[in-house]
């Protein structure tokens, strides 16, 4: 089966692939600006039908109770996706602008493989826990807690790592026994819709268990949040939209799980390998053109070594030019759209207006008149109060800031509305641990350590979110617990 024989995609509603009631909308390759095809454009009635199907599948079938069947379906999906890996990877480069080195990892291959981890959880999780006997009001009782899928999940996802985020939601939600309505971002509909095609044509998922509704209209996200038939909203996106989601969900008291923005710090201690650290910081911030919520975008270096660090980072960035993501070796591809490029360029201009110095980059790459590219950019001369140090830019832009010792670096790292991730480079284990324990973020790397994996809970402190995705903690977000007691 070819994933998109006519360069178009359908909605998946109640087990059927159907067109959108509003027709179709264009998908643009961000590296070339060419229209590469169309996705079905859903309207409110399509979403309504998808929610109804998910509700019915949860309420009237055995899906939530048959742990073994769920594991089987998830493994079927993993295997079917991996059988199409070459097509999905090529599409991720075309649709998302993902460099090919990432499509073999978090931009497709890794998250597809990780569905197996969630299948194992469906099978092996302790669905009941014996609490033994107690004597409430003097009467002996035996008690247990039973865990159940929480119901219908509305999953709303962004465009930057769409496969990773879509699978990190539908994998654990389905493993937990929930049914799902997935509404992906309008910029990357195929990453979701073609998974829907695989589900419909190559797996045994019952009708209504997974529904995928692509739309050019952000308002469908809000409709999903406000619908009282939905039990959980699992949202990944910007902090501004996350606030709206939480406010809207308060009307129906729907549980919200939020993965939001970040402005993570890369802390270099004075006993670190400075050149190695700066080179890693440059590599991180240009990866996928900086369009990652957990990417470190503030480089904090010892004041005495500031000039040396600027030179080392500039040199590293010079070898990481923004380029065609399908070229082997490209690390920094395009931004997803003209809107995002304008936003990033606006921040670079703001840095100059605020008195900053552009050490390298700052514009569009020479010789590229098509594609939403921005050069890897290093900004110096500002402190942590500057807007470019406080706000999420979501581009290949690094702000370098001097610190006056370990505690000052920790203070600067924590002087942020966000708390998603971070990195520390140093040689002394005690000092490294002091930093790791003091920075208020959901993940930390040490000397280049990579924490990302299916079994690692990922999420943020403060304005970076509520809850955890992936790992057992991410799976448990989709469970309800029921305490049961009977006389002993
Ligand atoms: P966005 O907030 O604009 O959109 C995210 C999703 O929400 C899209 O599907 C969109 O259609 C939908 N949406 C828009 N308005 C809505 C509303 N009022 N109610 C419900 N849904 C609505 O984000 P984006 O621009 O697509 O993605 C970039 C942002 O995502 C960045 O801020 C980034 O940090 C964040 N992000 C966070 C994580 C994480 O795990 N913490 C991961 C990736 C991206």
Residue-level pLDDT at 469: 98
Q: Is the CB of 394 under 6 A from ligand 1?
A: yes
Number of domains, the chain: 2
Q: Is the CB of 221 under 6 A from ligand 1?
A: yes
Total-model pTM: 0.98
In ligand 1, the atom with minimum distance to the C-alpha of 186 is: 11
6 falls within a domain: no
280/211 same-domain check: no
- Using DSSP bridges, classify how beta strands 8-9 and 35-40 pair: parallel, antiparallel or unpaired: parallel
Strand partners, 321: none
Residue of 172, 160, 152 whose CA lies nearest to 224: 152
- Is residue 123 annotated as a catalytic residue, yes or no? no
Residue-level pLDDT at 1: 67
Going residue by residue through the chain, which has 488 residues, state the pLDDT in tens, using 9 for 90 and above: 688 888 999 999 999 999 999 999 999 999 999 999 999 999 999 999 999 999 999 999 999 999 999 999 999 999 999 999 999 999 999 999 999 999 999 999 999 999 999 999 999 999 999 999 999 999 999 999 999 999 999 999 999 999 999 999 999 999 999 999 999 999 999 999 999 999 999 999 999 999 999 999 999 999 999 999 999 999 999 999 999 999 999 999 999 999 999 999 999 999 999 999 999 999 999 999 999 999 999 999 999 999 999 999 999 999 999 999 999 999 999 999 999 999 999 999 999 999 999 999 999 999 899 999 999 999 999 999 999 999 999 999 999 999 999 999 999 999 999 999 999 999 999 999 999 999 999 999 999 999 999 999 999 999 999 999 999 999 999 999 999 999 99
194/231 same-domain check: yes
262 alpha carbon – ligand 1 mean position (Å): 12
Residue-level pLDDT at 5: 80
308: containing domain:
264-453
423 falls within a domain: yes
In ligand 1, the atom with minimum distance to the C-alpha of 238 is: 32
460 falls within a domain: no
170/318 same-domain check: no
Query: What does the DSSP 8-state code read for residue 43?
Result: -
Residue of 99, 102, 26, 28 whose CA lies nearest to 371: 28
In ligand 1, the atom with minimum distance to the C-alpha of 464 is: 41
Strand partners, 179: 152
> Which residue among the candidates 52, 94, 259, 359 is catalytic per the annotation?
259
Residue-level pLDDT at 2: 81
Pocket test for ligand 1, best of 223, 241, 294 (most atoms within 8 A of CB): 241
379 falls within a domain: yes
4 falls within a domain: no
38/133 same-domain check: yes
2 falls within a domain: no
State the burial class of residue 353 (Cβ atoms within 10 Å of its Cβ: 0-12, 13-18, 19+). exposed
125 falls within a domain: yes
113 falls within a domain: yes
162 alpha carbon – ligand 1 mean position (Å): 11
> The domain that contains 425 carries what CATH number?
3.40.309.10
């Amino acid at each position: 089966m070819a994933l998109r024989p006519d360069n178009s995609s359908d909605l998946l509603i109640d087990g059927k692939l159907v067109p959108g009631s509003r027709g179709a909308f264009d998908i643009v390759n961000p590296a070339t600006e060419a229209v590469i095809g169309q996705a079905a454009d859903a309207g409110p009635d399509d979403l309504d039908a998808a929610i109804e199907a998910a509700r019915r599948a949860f309420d009237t079938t055995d899906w939530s109770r048959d742990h073994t069947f769920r594991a089987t379906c998830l493994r079927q999906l993993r295997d079917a996706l991996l059988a199409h890996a070459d097509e999905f990877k090529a599409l991720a480069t075309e649709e998302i602008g993902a460099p090919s080195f990432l499509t073999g990892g978090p931009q497709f291959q890794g998250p597809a493989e990780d569905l197996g981890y969630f299948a194992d959880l469906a099978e092996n999780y302790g669905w009941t826990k014996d609490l033994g006997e107690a004597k409430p009001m003097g009467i002996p009782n035996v008690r247990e807690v039973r865990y159940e899928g929480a119901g219908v999940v509305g999953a709303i996802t962004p465009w930057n790592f769409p496969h990773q985020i879509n699978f990190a939601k539908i994998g654990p939600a389905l493993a937990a026994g929930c049914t799902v309505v997935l509404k992906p971002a309008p910029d990357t509909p195929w990453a979701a819709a073609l998974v829907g095609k695989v589900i419909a044509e190559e797996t045994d998922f019952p009708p209504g268990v997974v529904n995928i509704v692509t739309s050019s209209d952000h308002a469908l996200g809000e409709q999903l949040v406000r619908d009282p038939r939905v039990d959980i909203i699992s949202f990944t996106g910007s902090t501004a939209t996350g606030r709206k989601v939480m406010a809207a969900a308060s009307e129906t008291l729907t549980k919200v799980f939020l993965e939001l923005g970040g402005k993570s710090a890369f802390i270099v201690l004075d006993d670190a390998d400075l050149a190695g650290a700066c080179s890693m910081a440059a590599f991180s911030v240009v990866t996928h053109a900086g369009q990652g919520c957990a990417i470190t975008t503030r480089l904090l270096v010892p004041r005495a070594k500031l000039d040396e660090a600027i030179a080392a980072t500039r040199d590293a960035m010079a070898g990481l030019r923004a380029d065609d993501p399908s070229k082997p070796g490209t690390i920094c591809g395009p931004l997803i759209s003209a809107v995002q490029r304008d936003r990033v360029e606006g921040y670079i201009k703001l840095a100059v207006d605020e008195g900053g110095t552009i050490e390298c980059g700052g514009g569009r790459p020479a010789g590229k008149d098509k594609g939403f590219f921005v050069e890897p950019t290093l900004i110096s001369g500002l402190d942590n109060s500057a807007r470019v140090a406080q706000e999420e830019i979501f581009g290949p832009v690094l702000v370098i800031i001097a610190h006056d010792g370990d505690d000052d670096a920790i203070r600067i790292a924590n002087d942020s509305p966000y708390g998603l991730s971070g990195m520390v480079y140093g040689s002394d284990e005690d000092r490294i641990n002091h930093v790791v324990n003091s920075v208020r973020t959901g993940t930390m790397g040490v000397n280049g350590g990579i924490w990302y994996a299916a079994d690692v809970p990922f999420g943020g402190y403060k304005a970076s979110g509520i809850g955890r995705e992936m790992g057992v903690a991410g799976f448990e977000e989709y469970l309800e617990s029921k305490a049961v007691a009977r006389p002993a």
